[in-house]
Chains A and B, each alone.
Chain A
Amino acid sequence: MIIKKRREVDEINSSSMADIAFLLLVFFLVTTTIDPGEGLTMILPPYESDPSPRDADEIVKILVRSTGQVLLDGEIMNIEQIEEKSKNKVQEFQSTHPGLGKDGKPKQPIFVVITDQKAQYQTFLRVVDQLKLAACKKISVVES
């Protein structure tokens, strides 16, 4: 007959668990960042720059009326059409103006967005969005 010896129950030392928890706390405190938000980026020209004269054929005018109507080069169109049309304009411009610009890249036409004072911000932003989608580099905003 085997006589069982009473064994002491082994305990896992859990005192370091607290340290682990603290470490986690500190880790999350340090690494947590708040989302700074997102949006359409745009670069404005400096205030005291005199607008250098441009060739008329370098400029593509986009007119935003107070009614929300949009005209590209005098042609009324839907906002969704602007992306396609402005892509064509860029290609057209680059075929008539071959060669590279100052930055060593193909020349880009300037898209001037002219807005009515009473035009809505949402309409303007959708137009700029379309130009960005068409990868237009030079976008200028003018108040009528």
Chain B
Amino acid sequence: MNINSKPRPKSTVSTASLPDIIFMLLIFFMVTTVMKTFDGLKVQDPSAKKIEKLENRKNVIYIWQTKDGSVCVDDQTLSNIDDVSEILKFKLESSVDPGKMVVQFKSDQNTTMELIQQVHTECRQANALKLSYAAKKLSD
């Protein structure tokens, strides 16, 4: 009786499908990842022609403002517009480069200038002088 007549082929676990699994993971995470961005308040952006891109998200403070007067700075909703300067001051002090900080106004297009001017004054009090008015690109 000869048992060892046939040499059995070496059995290895095939790793060929491992990249497919990892690609699947990659795609899964790309699809499901939601960046932590605060959507702020619901506003209708005004439109303008000469708009410029902001450089770095880290250097931007966002202020949302609706036409009924609610104000929101980054992710804080404020009940009183006078608190804006305090928060801006704090944010500027805690930033790496206060000179580069830009305040972006995301105000509703139907907001009255009275409210806009109030926030202007708050920005000036906090010494946040670089502004950017968020706007949609208006084609010619």
Residues of chain A whose beta carbon lies under 8 Å from any beta carbon of chain B: 14-15, 17-18, 20-22, 24-25, 28, 33-34, 36-47, 64, 115-122, 124-126, 128-129, 132-133, 141, 143
Contacts and interface: CB of A to CB of B under 8 A. Distances in A.
Given A36-B56, A133-B50, A121 B116 contact: yes
B120 A44 contact: yes
Contact of B26 (A25, A38, A40, A45): A25
B120 A40 contact: no
B93 interface: no
B79 interface: no
Given A20-B19, A34-B37, A40 B132 contact: yes
B124 A44 contact: yes
B46 A46 contact: no
9 contacts: A17-B16, A40-B133, A41-B102, A41-B132, A44-B124, A44-B131, A47-B121, A47-B127, A120-B110
B96 interface: no
Give the size range of B's interface with the partner: 35 or more
B95 interface: no
B35 interface: yes
Contacts of B48: 39-40, 125-126, 128-129
Contacts of B25: 25
Nearest to B35: A34
A120 B112 contact: yes
A22 to B, nearest CB: 6
A119 B35 CA distance: 36
Contact of A120 (B35, B37, B109): B109
Contacts of A141: 117, 120
Contacts of B124: 44-47
Nearest to A113: B113
Q: Which 10 A-B pairs have the closest CB atoms?
A: A17-B19, A122-B109, A36-B57, A47-B124, A117-B114, A129-B48, A39-B132, A115-B113, A21-B22, A36-B54
A9 to B, nearest CB: 11
B134 A121 contact: no
Contact of B57 (A34, A122, A132, A143): A34
Contact of A125 (B35, B46, B52, B53): B46
Contacts of B60: 36-37
